[in-house]
Structure 1
Amino acid sequence: MAETKTESLVLEPGTVIKPIITHEEVKLLVERLYGISVLELEELNGYDDKNYKIIEDPNVKNPLITNHSTEGYVLKIMNSMDSQNLSVVEAQNEIMNFITARSITCPRPIRNIFGHLYSIERLGDRSHAVRLLEYVPGTLLKDVQASDALLYQLGEFVANLDNKLQNFNHSGLVTREHIWMLSKVPELDKFKYVIKDAEKLDLVEEVIEEYKYAVVPNYDELEKGVIHGDINEMNILVEKNPAGKTEYRIAGVLDFGDIQYSYLVFELAISMTYMMLVTGEVRSGGVVLAGYSINRRLPAQDLRLLKTLISARLVQSLVLGAYSIEQDPNNKYVTSTERANGWDLLKKLRKTKYSADEQDPTDWQTIANEYLTRS
């Protein structure tokens, strides 16, 4: 049984938690733990973790491997902070198997030569959880045109995912804390120093304070459950639509590093935020909401909080993104869409006065209703 730590594990400014490892060391690690001789190795995006796509050498036969993934593998080396909470590692493995069994496409964990779904490895002066997953082929949502039809499908998909996750429970998620959880927005006060522009800093402080007085007091009124916690354009797979009505359709979901027991409306708000970042349009959130509302009813209380929650997720992304770049200027995970569209989108969200012929783009319920009527 894994040892579980229940104390608060939340990132503090100046803490380095990302794994430090060379490509040659990755190859040796995979061979030692999984008996795989690496033919091709490619580092993938990762915020605090290290992720590598691996193609094994088919000419090197290892009797320890009974099932080979024809599309390759993804080696995940978890950051040193999350690696301390092994029950979360177990929860991530279990949730992938859980939703795969319920017809949702996602990666599946692979057992190492010792029969375990993860191991703890010492890299330098820190310990990191190491896992191997099947590589799931497909196209990322970020690489296709995000049409209204695709955004609507995403809303349906997210609601369906959350519905299925209501039957998933794991004790490791109940006490989990992570700086990227939306409930940690008040903690951004520690990181806001990275925003040097006075106007932008004013926006950040305004949103953090609004979250404190508009959202925190209402926690007890919000429905809770297990959520993915990071539905964005890099974590959603799409595929060509054989029916031909739309060019692409939602095919699966990746990256369960942010799973948590939290508020269901947070999942919707996060999904809407990233789709608005992709399109650069506030109204896109209403299309996502339209699809979501087909599979899940959104209480009025949750609907009223959406503007604050989406503003808060933007601020969280922009502040922690700036902090990440300050710590590592070569961090590729801080996406160009956030850096290009984030501040403009935040300013649009904070606008309160409109002319008589302007529609409030944050009136997502009206936009959702209009989309459903047209469809």
Structure 2
Amino acid sequence: MTDKINLLEPGKVIKPIIDHDGVKLLVERLYGISALELIELNGYDDKNYKIVEDPNVKNPLITNPSPHGYVLKIMNSMDSQNVDVVEAQNEIMNFLATRSVTCPKPVRNVYGHLHSIENINGKQHAVRLLEYVPGELLKNVPLSAALFYQLGEFVANLDNKLQNFNHSGLVSREHIWMLTTVPHLDKFKYVIKDSEKLDLAEEVIEEYKYAVVPRLDELEKGVIHGDVNEMNILVSPKPGSQSDYRITGILDFGDIQYSYYVFELAITMTYVMLITGDPRSGGLVLAGYTVNRLLPDHEYRLLKTLISSRLVQSLILGAYTLEQDPQNTYVTSTEKAKGWELLKKIRKSKPSADETDPTDWKTIANEYLTKS
């Protein structure tokens, strides 16, 4: 069964509504855990809480307690309707954990299940508990060309491993943050009040329709993470260094989908360029990616449109989310501050004669590889 008809519509509220006391009761009832400490983490339309277990309250249900605590995830009411997707998210984490990829691990509840459907404030929400994975987020450490290159390597390696992962629940999945749903943004673009920005957004959406949609059948497909950004990538200092970091793991599998590998690359490049404000940094990601995974020319030629589309998607849906939920911290930082400026740079880049086009990512990648 496809959930295509379940795409987010304007005015629909899907984020869970629950307070800290409700969360503590939930985690105690479902997992036997008494919360010593509870911290709400960022979440776009889900609720996420870091939980430190009270060591004085013995829990016979968990024989090997997570040393770093747990994350309780309460999924939005829309995605919670598709139980197959919830199961796929649990399975993909277990799949990658057995293949040397550091990521959260799901914990079974008192009923022996990896998730349950709970009635929260009158709506049905999928609830899961994951082991907390320690580490710094990419957004919180000094950025470097080497780190962006390594991110490209990491993502290509991730997708290579995911070639061997399949789940029936992902085949027909569609949600508003998938790049395949860019044409659906027409319903949300009313939130952009500035006419110049609206013109730019409409230009990108139309370009996606005629440049990407007719070529989708030519692109290689598989299961992808779908949301590789600076808040989902874990890093750790290299041995003996306080300022030199390496990629160590990945979080948040809420956007996994059966889609196109070039979309994974485009999304990763987009978020790196967002945190730097410089289109050239995308070339560093491309350099690392293409060392581990071939990118055919016909897919490379779509990158500019795909990256522009992801930016427009972030900007429109971010503005829509803030209209519905003004306190949503997930979308009040990087995208809002730099997104439109970056989009203009990508769409209207005109380098001088002695400069490299900042969106000529292949040349930038080759130059980096040559120097390295």
Q: TM-score range by the shorter chain?
A: over 0.9
- 1:35 matches 2:32: yes
Of 344, 347, 370, which residue of structure 1 is paired with 2:341?
A: 344
SS of the counterpart of 1:322?
helix
1:193 corresponds in structure 2 to 190
Of 261, 265, 269, which residue of structure 2 is paired with 1:268?
A: 265
- 1:103 matches 2:120: no
Which range moves more in the overlay, 161-170 or 330-339? Answer: 330-339
SS of the counterpart of 2:302?
helix
RMSD in angstroms over aligned alpha carbons? 1.2
1:139 corresponds in structure 2 to 136
Is residue 146–residue 278 contact of structure 1 (8 Å, CA) maintained in 2? no
Identify if the C-alpha distance between structure 1 residues 6 and 191 changes in structure 2 by more than 3 Å, giving closer, same or farther: closer
1:236 corresponds in structure 2 to 233
Inter-partner Cα distance in structure 1 for 2:360 and 2:88: 37
TM, length-normalised to structure 1: 0.97
Is residue 92–residue 257 contact of structure 1 (8 Å, CA) maintained in 2? yes
Is residue 10–residue 178 contact of structure 1 (8 Å, CA) maintained in 2? yes
- Pairs within 5 Å for 1:203-214: 203-214=200-211
Identify if the C-alpha distance between structure 1 residues 62 and 244 changes in structure 2 by more than 3 Å, giving closer, same or farther: closer
Is residue 281–residue 345 contact of structure 1 (8 Å, CA) maintained in 2? yes
Q: Percent identity?
A: 76
1:352, distance to aligned residue in structure 2 (A): 4.7
1:356, distance to aligned residue in structure 2 (A): 1.7
SS of the counterpart of 1:8?
helix
2:119 corresponds in structure 1 to 122
Of 66, 71, 77, which residue of structure 2 is paired with 1:69?
A: 66
1:359, distance to aligned residue in structure 2 (A): 1.9
Give the letter for the 1:161 counterpart. Answer: L
2:145 corresponds in structure 1 to 148
Is residue 111–residue 118 contact of structure 1 (8 Å, CA) maintained in 2? yes
Of 87, 91, 96, which residue of structure 2 is paired with 1:90?
A: 87
Of 327, 340, 354, which residue of structure 1 is paired with 2:351?
A: 354
Structure 1: 5+ residue stretches without partners: none
Identify if the C-alpha distance between structure 1 residues 35 and 5 changes in structure 2 by more than 3 Å, giving closer, same or farther: farther
Of 236, 249, 252, which residue of structure 2 is paired with 1:252?
A: 249
1:8, distance to aligned residue in structure 2 (A): 2.7
Inter-partner Cα distance in structure 1 for 2:143 and 2:316: 25
Give the letter for the 2:97 counterpart. Answer: T
Identify if the C-alpha distance between structure 1 residues 62 and 353 changes in structure 2 by more than 3 Å, giving closer, same or farther: closer
Structure 2: 5+ residue stretches without partners: none
Is residue 351–residue 358 contact of structure 2 (8 Å, CA) maintained in 1? no
1:355, distance to aligned residue in structure 2 (A): 2.7
SS of the counterpart of 2:11?
coil
Of 317, 320, 332, which residue of structure 2 is paired with 1:320?
A: 317
1:227 corresponds in structure 2 to 224
1:337, distance to aligned residue in structure 2 (A): 1.2
Inter-partner Cα distance in structure 1 for 2:59 and 2:301: 57
1:244, distance to aligned residue in structure 2 (A): 5.3
Q: 4+ residue stretches of structure 1 with deviation over 2 A?
A: 4-8, 243-246, 352-355
Which range moves more in the overlay, 344-353 or 227-236? Answer: 344-353
- Matched length: 372
Give the letter for the 2:218 counterpart. Answer: E
Inter-partner Cα distance in structure 2 for 1:76 and 1:56: 16
- 1:58 matches 2:55: yes
Give the letter for the 2:230 counterpart. Answer: E
- 1:15 matches 2:12: yes
